[in-house]
């Protein structure tokens, strides 16, 4: 897959392959940027740098994709908003897909899979 992508996207997936989840931060307008890109979508600056987000996020929308049990069962697809202010499509994977709800606090983790690493989210510990 890395052969077919370039630039910021390639850098993102290279880091992810090493187990690191990175987003971009604009040095001109101080806003955070995700999905990876060359130009800041807010001010069109080229001065984007990479940062490791704190990992905390809030579920913005959630849905359940139905799938036969023999194919792995139902799974969650969610859009979460990182505390840095950017949204990403992902899944909340440590609870039943129907128990994920809007406003729930979740935390990013890099999940190693057969098709490469991906960023997924787990519910935050209540007693933190
Ligand atoms: Zn900017």
Instruction: Supply the pLDDT for residue 26.
Output: 98
H or E element in which residue 16 lies: helix 7-17
Average pLDDT over residues 66-93: 95
**37-62 pLDDT, tens per residue?**
999 999 999 999 999 999 999 999 99
In whole numbers, what is the pLDDT of the chain averaged over residues? 93
Please tell me the predicted confidence (pLDDT) of residue 2: 62
Could you tell me the distance, in angstroms and rounded to a whole number, from the CA of residue 16 to the centre of ligand 1? 23
CA 25–ligand 1 middle distance (angstroms): 8
- CA of 11 from ligand 1 middle (Å) equals 19
What domains appear along the chain, each with residue ranges and CATH number?
Answer: 1-52 (no CATH), 55-128 (2.40.50.840)
The environment of the single-atom ion ligand 1, i.e. residues with CB closer than 5 A, is 26, 28-29, 40, 42-43, 45
How far, in Å, from the CA of 46 to the mean position of ligand 1?
8
Confidence of residue 126 (pLDDT cuts 50, 70, 90): low
33 CA distance to ligand 1 middle (Å): 8
Q: Is the peptide bond before 35 cis (omega within 30 degrees of 0)?
A: yes
> What's the CA-to-centroid distance between 49 and ligand 1, angstroms?
11
pTM recorded for the entire structure: 0.88
How many percent of the chain have pLDDT more than 90?
88
Q: Sheet of 32-33: strands edge to edge?
A: 32-33, 23-26, 48-51
Least confident piece of the model among 60-69, 100-109, 111-120: 111-120
Residue 43's nearest CA partner among 60, 65, 28 is 28
Whether residue 62 contacts residue 112, with contact meaning beta carbons closer than 8 Å, is answered with: no
């Amino acid at each position: 897959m890395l052969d077919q992508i370039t630039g910021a996207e390639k850098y993102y997936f290279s880091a992810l392959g090493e187990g690191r989840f990175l987003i971009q931060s604009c040095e001109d307008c101080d806003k955070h940027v995700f999905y990876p890109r060359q130009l800041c979508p807010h001010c069109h600056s080229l001065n984007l740098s990479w940062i490791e987000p704190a990992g905390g996020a809030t579920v913005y929308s959630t849905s359940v994709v139905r799938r036969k049990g023999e194919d792995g069962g139902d799974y969650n697809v969610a859009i979460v908003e990182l505390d840095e202010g950017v949204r990403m499509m992902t899944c909340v994977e440590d609870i039943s897909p129907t128990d994920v709800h809007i406003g729930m606090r979740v935390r990013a983790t890099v999940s190693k899979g057969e098709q490469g690493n991906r960023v997924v989210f787990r519910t935050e510990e209540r007693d933190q």
